[in-house]
Amino acid sequence: HTHMCYSEFNDILPAIAAMDADVITIETSRSDMELLRGFGDFNYPNEIGPGVYDIHSPRVPSEAEMTRLLEKAAQVIPSSNLWVNPDCGLKTRGWPETEAALSNMVAAAKALRQKHEFVA
* Cα–Cα distance measured from residue 29 to residue 31, given in angstroms and rounded to the nearest whole number: 5
The answer to whether 5 and 55 have CB atoms below 8 angstroms apart is no
Which of the residues are catalytic?
56
Decide: residue 70, CB within 10 A, 0-12 exposed, 13-18 middle, 19+ buried. Answer: buried
* Cα–Cα distance measured from residue 10 to residue 12, given in angstroms and rounded to the nearest whole number: 6
* Cα–Cα distance measured from residue 66 to residue 44, given in angstroms and rounded to the nearest whole number: 23
* Cα–Cα distance measured from residue 38 to residue 40, given in angstroms and rounded to the nearest whole number: 5
